[in-house]
Structure 1
Amino acid sequence: MARPILLAVDDDTSVLEAVVGDLRRKYAQEYRIVRAASGQAALDTCTQLKDRGDAVALFLSDQRMPGMTGVDFLSRAITLYPDAKRVLLTAYADTEAAIRAINTAKIHYYLNKPWDPPEEKLYPVLDDLLVSWHQGYKPPYEGLQVVGTRWGSQDHAVRDFLSRNHVSYRWLNPEAGNEAADALKARGLDDSKLPVVIFSDGTAAVQPTQMELAEKVGLKTQADNEFYDVVVVGAGPAGLAAGVYGASEGLRTLVVEPDAVGGQAGSSSRIENYLGFPQGISGDELAKRGFIQAQRLGAEFVTQRVMSIELDKQYRIVKLEDGREVSCSVVLVATGVSWCKLDVPGSDALVGAGVYYGAAQSEAAACKDEEVFVVGGANSAGQAAMNFAKYARKVTMLVRGKGLESSMSKYLIDQIAAMPNIVVETGTEITRFCGMEHLEGIELKTPRGTEYRSATSVFIFIGAAPKTHWLPEQVCRDERGFVLAGPDLKRVGIERMAGNGGAADRDPYLLETSVPGIFVAGDVRHGSVKRAASAVGEGSIAIQFVHQYLAGF
């Protein structure tokens, strides 16, 4: 950010040089020192500075100047920089005029010439004025900005992607004032197509795709090499653990993640039963630490979506969303699960416009002083309720079952019970979402009958749907799409693994799928325990089996 400006004005060259010299000795580290040889030149300079968006902290002007006096200049400068501090330099004969100017020109101080020594007669005065200016100064935001409405699904997706990837941004809502319109107009745009992302270099992207956004904010989207020992698909707890152990044990490891590291666990506001963190840790922080650790050990990460895997003898060809391919000896599937959608009227049309699947951290602050509804009774729902309770006036948990005891950890049940603005309604489910452009209400089936509630934000944490539609058909899955591995393959009658049109002569390793060289870990595996610690464990031990597989080449 550019330094604020101190502007010195005097028509006497020798006096101006002395003023500028004293200012530079004291303030050059924090401020830019600018000079002008007349009042009119100073006004022209102020206009140019204003057009560039520069801040002026203080004017220091001589009184006796031909054409325009110091008082006249300071009076006219107020319209350009009303908050800048104004100091008048006067001779003793002009003292009375300077005192009158305190009211007429609203100057903040006057100094008699000469001001030697400046350590006693100049700097203490300017120091006080500059401290006062800084207290009221709000520097212009120069980072990334998102112009979008609260209720747009694309707008929500952009904000959520940036938040989960730790990209700082400022949200400008066109419905909340003129600032968004001004930002668009300055770039020749309007609000007909939102969201618009304005980057720190001044460029803008209209309705950017996730890949376009990732590239622009500096996320890595292309792999460095064409071949790896192991490609890990997914950067949740299982994928991060595999990245740490794979890289630390000398495997050329690539981790591919389309959204953000951490998976579902990364959106948890606080995990309090993870070993080694007695005060608890947010899922976001846990994921960030795992990411840094894996990178330090040599794992490579790219923001991409895997579209398919092709089998080519002993190699696995991973096809990415941008059309590129990477080859590897082993693929570890750690894609986790997504939340199941509510199959009720109105749900699809309002996703991102008041209906959200998952914690949606980017929406938490927007729910300040509102009533928020959380659907679900497992740990993830409880953690989200606790997080939203910091902002919302009231959080209502809608639980279809009889209680929380069978699905939620005891520590979390106790915390929810102690939170005065969280209400748990059991035996209750949503039967309809109501609203046109955004959510306006919900219909509920309750033990008392059908009820209607006004609602603007509903966060859903129910069920778990595996993300496995992109896998080769040779990879066996159960009826819900979870990947079968190890002993589970035999249990369902698959005794030999199908390779690239052939078969294997050995039993599959513990976390190996029906295709040799394709392993699975974490929530996407059939029969997995849906806990972050369990996923970390599977991701780490999968690497041991990867070594055994590679040793058999």
Structure 2
Amino acid sequence: MAATTDAPPAAERRPVILAVDDEPAVLAAVARDLRRGFGERYRIMRTSSGAEALDVLAQVRARGEQVALLVADQRMPGMEGTEYLAKARELVPDAKRVLLTAYADTDAAIAAINEVALDYYLMKPWDPPEEQLYPVLEDLLTTWESGAALEAGGVRVIGHRFSKESHDLRDFLARNRVPANWLDVERDREARELLTIADVAPDRLPVVLLEDGAVIERPSVLELAERLGVVGVPAADHYDLVIVGGGPAGLAAAVYGASEGLKTALVEREAPGGQAGQSSRIENYLGFPSGLSGSDLARRAADQARRLGAELLTMQDATRLRVEGSGRFVELTGGGELSATSVLIASGVSYRQLDAPGFAELTGAGVYYGAALTEARSCRDQHVVVIGGANSAGQAAVHFAQYASRVTMLVRGESLTRSMSHYLIEQIAALENVEVRTGTQAVAAAGDDGHLARLTLRSGDGAEWIEEVDACFVFIGAAPRTDWLDGVVARDPRGFVLAGLDVRDHGWGLARDPFLLETNVPGVFVAGDVRARSVKRVASAVGEGSMSVSLVHEYLAEA
């Protein structure tokens, strides 16, 4: 049986939603509901078997069309829904995947979350679709559209893959969700043709071509941000609450502060999401059984904060905190400052640098700190090394395993069990192209033509050897971003901010005890990873950010 479709005009190329079910009546009902909810934006197609659906996907991709969503029944003869979705993932890896299940198939659906990176499973029947079907699919399609827009964007960046400057620009655009297209001057003929048309010399790379026709040679990240209008400008002279840091804690505080009527501004030095925003997959966050990427979590939270009235000032960094009477002033890069009645420190942490020969010189040219998701597809069929044994390293290894032919994890300790969640350890063990080497560390890096080519490794017994590698991603702990608080806010010996009862012996001058998240400066609070003795988890950071707003209200009530 051939696939049926709503057959749009030839000139119209809407993204495809493909439904598969072997029962004609059910398939007709699924297609009907999909057309009613999404037919104006998407081309709805349907087939009655997994094998037919795979043929349809191959034809759709051959025509250069996009596939947004796959909806498949679990119980189908010949090929179950999970088997079909696993094979379909190889053809259309970016499409969202939904499994239709009966109550008895719930266990299979939950297992499929890991096996085929399932995005959602729906219990049949779902009447009424306005409540049970459309909100779920709309959320998935919004996420897909966001990613598709990023890849089809009008901003084009041309440069060398193994160039720190190129990497920094690509990372900035991706993390700030600016639609952009990357062109490697060494691999893409289009890149070389565009350079000839724009009359740009090869030694002036990277170059950015804007949608308005402007050509910017070798721009800094800040210069590009200003040209794109990403840099935020304060709209008020004074705020009830200024939040420094746009990670989960800061974004949660922005959502709750704005929703409760506080004039709220958030300052973020790079992009909403902070370090968590670079995570390829967060699978233990409450309410998201299929997990979600750090980028997706950041996008949702930032949109929510803006909708509720918070100001998000990106590409701004706090350089100093100044206290004058009841006023709290956050000085910013570029000479500006924000005046506030209360301040939340949520500036988070940054990955520690690996102090070994060659790593500093090759940073951004094969050596990366954090997941650097912009590099994932460039690692296809290559050997990738991940250094570290905690959750961030594990998430990165699982993610890069989708692209690289081989992923090697270097873990200094004797096992992963002390530092990594059990679910990640199980996922890594199930991946044939991931090797975990415990008791092993990288002691040197070397390159060819300016990019990483080899690592010198050392085992626990002191033996050393050289291994050929294509890219290396480092996760060896984190350091707090608190230098801007010197001389004002009390910190522990490692630089993490003290709060609550810990600050009574650090210059606390009021008769009352400090609030739970309050620093030694009344009205200045701290939340998230930057707080001393915090739990380094996304959910706890969100909880602390939310809690801080109630404490701010108490402080404002007594001020």
Same-fold call, TM > 0.5?
A: yes
Q: Which residue of 1 aligns with 2:363?
A: 351
**Alpha-carbon distance in 2 for matches of 1:142, 1:518:** 40
**Alpha-carbon distance in 2 for matches of 1:415, 1:251:** 43
**Alpha-carbon distance in 2 for matches of 1:539, 1:472:** 23
Q: Which residue of 1 aligns with 2:485?
A: 471
Q: How does 1:199-348 map to 2 (within 5 A)?
A: 199-303=210-314, 304-348=316-360
Amino acid at match of 1:368: R
Q: CA RMSD in A?
A: 2.3
Q: How does 1:434-513 map to 2 (within 5 A)?
A: 434-435=446-447, 437-447=450-460, 449-490=463-504, 493-494=505-506, 496-497=507-508, 503-513=509-519
1:396: how far off? 0.5
Q: Is the 8 A contact 2:153 2:181 kept in 1?
A: no
The gaps in structure 2 that reach 5 residues or longer are: 1-8, 13-61, 67-151
Amino acid at match of 1:534: S
Closer, same or farther: CA 29–440 of 1 in aligned 2, 3 Å: closer
1:295: how far off? 1.2
Q: Which residue of 1 aligns with 2:525?
A: 519
**Alpha-carbon distance in 2 for matches of 1:142, 1:287:** 20
Identity %: 52
The gaps in structure 1 that reach 5 residues or longer are: 1-26, 31-133, 498-502
Q: Is the 8 A contact 1:226 1:325 kept in 2?
A: no
Q: Which residue of 1 aligns with 2:444?
A: 432
Name which of 344, 349, 362 aligns with 2:374: 362
**Alpha-carbon distance in 1 for matches of 2:191, 2:525:** 48
Name which of 362, 387, 397 aligns with 1:385: 397
Is 1:401 aligned to residue 409 of structure 2?
no
Comparing 310-319 with 356-365, greater Cα deviation is found at 310-319
Closer, same or farther: CA 292–474 of 1 in aligned 2, 3 Å: same
Closer, same or farther: CA 299–452 of 1 in aligned 2, 3 Å: same
Q: Is the 8 A contact 2:411 2:438 kept in 1?
A: yes
Amino acid at match of 2:332: L
**Alpha-carbon distance in 2 for matches of 1:175, 1:403:** 40
1:526: how far off? 0.5
Closer, same or farther: CA 370–28 of 1 in aligned 2, 3 Å: closer
**Alpha-carbon distance in 2 for matches of 1:552, 1:209:** 45
Closer, same or farther: CA 299–142 of 1 in aligned 2, 3 Å: closer
1:168: how far off? 2.1
Amino acid at match of 1:429: Q
Q: Which residue of 2 aligns with 1:539?
A: 545
1:260: how far off? 1.1
1:135: how far off? 5.2
**Alpha-carbon distance in 2 for matches of 1:370, 1:136:** 26
Give the structure-2-normalised TM-score: 0.71
Q: Which residue of 2 aligns with 1:529?
A: 535
Name which of 172, 175, 190 aligns with 1:161: 172
Amino acid at match of 2:488: Q
1:504: how far off? 3.0
- Tell me the secondary structure at the aligned position of residue 508 of structure 1: coil
Give the structure-1-normalised TM-score: 0.72
1:293: how far off? 1.3
**Alpha-carbon distance in 2 for matches of 1:282, 1:224:** 31
Amino acid at match of 2:173: L
Q: Is the 8 A contact 1:316 1:330 kept in 2?
A: yes
Deviations 1:172-199 (A, max 9, x none): 2121144223212322321212211111
Deviations 1:493-544 (A, max 9, x none): 43x42xxxxx333322111111122111000011010000000000010111
Amino acid at match of 1:457: A
**Alpha-carbon distance in 2 for matches of 1:355, 1:375:** 11
**Alpha-carbon distance in 2 for matches of 1:181, 1:294:** 41
Deviations 1:399-440 (A, max 9, x none): 000110111111110000001111100000011111251111
Deviations 1:169-224 (A, max 9, x none): 11121211442232123223212122111111110222222222223233242111
1:136: how far off? 8.4
- Tell me the secondary structure at the aligned position of residue 167 of structure 2: helix
Deviations 1:215-270 (A, max 9, x none): 32332421111211111011100001000110111100001112111111111111
